[in-house]
Structure 1
C-alpha cells in the first residue's frame, strides 16, 4: 500500500484517495463479506475477507501519511479493547459474558462528553440497522414497549397516517415513521431487520429471475405475471421442503 500510495511512482488511483472517498468501499466490502457468509461460500468469503482487510490497511496507511496513527496502532488498540472487555479471560474477574461486556462498554461511553444514551450510534450505519441500534439504546434506559403488541399497533397507526397524506414531503416523513415502527417490531421479535430485508431481496431476485425467462414476459399482462410469480413461489417452497 505504501508503494501504491507513492505520489510519484504509485498507482494514479490509489495515490489520490482520501478517507472520505475510500469509506464507501469499506462499507461495500463489509456487505460482500456478509453476502458470502449468507451464501455459505467459503472460497468467496476468503476473497472478501482479504478485500475487507485491504480497507483496514488502506485507511491505516493514509493515517500514517498524515502522522495520525499506524496499522500497528490499530492492532494494538483492538487487542487492548478485547483484553479490557474480557477481564474474566485476561484478568482477575470470576464471571464474564455479554452482560459484563455491555457494562464495560457503558463505562467506556461514560467518558464521552455526549452523555446521551444514543451517543456513538454511527450516522453512516445503514438506516435499518441504525434504527434498531437507536431503539436498543433507548430500551436500555427504559424507553421501550413491554412486548411486541405496542410496536405492532404502532405500525397500524403509522400506516393510517401515511394513507391520509397527499403532500410528498409529509408522505416521506410518515413512510419513515412506518419503517421505524416495523424495525421496532422486528427487534421485539428478535429479528435483525437488515438481515430480514437482505433475505427478502434475495428471494425477490431469485423468483423474478425465474419468471422473466417466460417467452414474451415484458408483454404479458400483470395477471399473467402474477400467475408466473405464484408458480415460482410454489416451486421454490417445494424445493426448500
Structure 2
C-alpha cells in the first residue's frame, strides 16, 4: 500500500474513533489526559531499543505515532492545527535548519544550528548552551546541557579529569555543614557523574533505570528465597538479610 494512502487511512480511523458513532473512551480524551500514555510509550520504545527487539520497536513506534495522530485530531476539532500543519512545519524546519544540505552553506556546526533556531523565534541573541527543556528528566537534561557545551568546545579533554572531578565532588559533599550545602553538593556530584557517563558513552537515565530494575529483581528473588526457607522477613536482622542478598547476587552471576 502506498505510504500516503496508509497514512490517510490511519488519520481517518482516528477521526472515526472520535466521531459521533465512535468510541466513548477515545471521544473523552484531551491533550492533558493523554500525556501519561505518550510518556509511557516513549519509555517502552527505549526498552525495546535496549533489548534490540525490532518487532517490539516497530510496535512501540506505532503506539507513539498513535499519540501524535490523537493529539492532532483533538487540535483539529478545536481549530488549533491539523496533522498537515504538523508535517508541513516539520518539513520546512528540517530544510531550514540544514542549509549545508539544502542550501549553499558549507558544513554543520552546533552554533549555526542554535543561531538559526533563535532567528526562527525572533530572538536577536542566542545562547550556545541551547534552549533548556525543563520537561526532560534531570539526568537527561544534564547530559543534554553538557553535550551542547561540548559541541562548542567547552568540555573536559580526558576521562581521567572527569573521574577526578567526581572524587572532588564526593569529598566536598562529605564536608558539608548543613542541609542546604548538602543538597547543592549532591547536585554537583550527580552532574559530575553524568559527565563521567558521557565520556564512557553511557546514557545515565537508561543506566540508572537498568540498575533499579536489577535491584527490584534481586530483592524479589531474595524474598522468595527467605520464604522458601520458612523465615519471617520482618524479623530478620540486617546481617541475615545481607547474606541472602549476597546469595541472590551469586546466583544472578552464574
Normalising by the residue count of structure 2, what TM-score does the alignment of the two structures yield? Answer: 0.75
Deviations 1:14-40 (A, max 9, x none): 445443443333122100111233344
Give the drift of 1:92. 8.3
Residue pairs, 1:164-179, within 5 angstroms: 164-165=175-176, 167-179=178-190
Measure, in 2, the Cα distance between the counterparts of 1:173 and 1:151: 19
Residue pairs, 1:76-87, within 5 angstroms: 76-81=88-93
Task: Give the match's secondary structure for 2:224.
Answer: coil
* Map of 1:56 onto structure 2: 68
Give the drift of 1:182. 0.4
* Map of 1:109 onto structure 2: 117
Farther-moved stretch of structure 1 (190-199 vs 159-168): 159-168
Measure, in 1, the Cα distance between the counterparts of 2:127 and 2:89: 25
* Map of 1:2 onto structure 2: 15
Kept in 1, the 8 Å contact 2:133–2:141? The answer is yes
Measure, in 2, the Cα distance between the counterparts of 1:158 and 1:185: 12
Task: Give the match's secondary structure for 1:155.
Answer: helix
Residue pairs, 1:20-39, within 5 angstroms: 20-39=32-51
Q: Which residue among 186, 198, 218 is the counterpart of 1:207? A: 218
Larger radius of gyration: 2
Kept in 1, the 8 Å contact 2:97–2:117? The answer is no
Measure, in 2, the Cα distance between the counterparts of 1:106 and 1:217: 59
Measure, in 2, the Cα distance between the counterparts of 1:40 and 1:148: 28
Farther-moved stretch of structure 1 (175-184 vs 21-30): 21-30
Where does structure 1 lack aligned partners over 5 or more consecutive residues?
Answer: none
Where does structure 2 lack aligned partners over 5 or more consecutive residues?
Answer: 1-13
Residues 104, 73 of structure 1: alpha-carbon distance in 2 compared, 3 angstrom cutoff: farther
* Map of 1:197 onto structure 2: 208
Kept in 1, the 8 Å contact 2:130–2:145? The answer is no
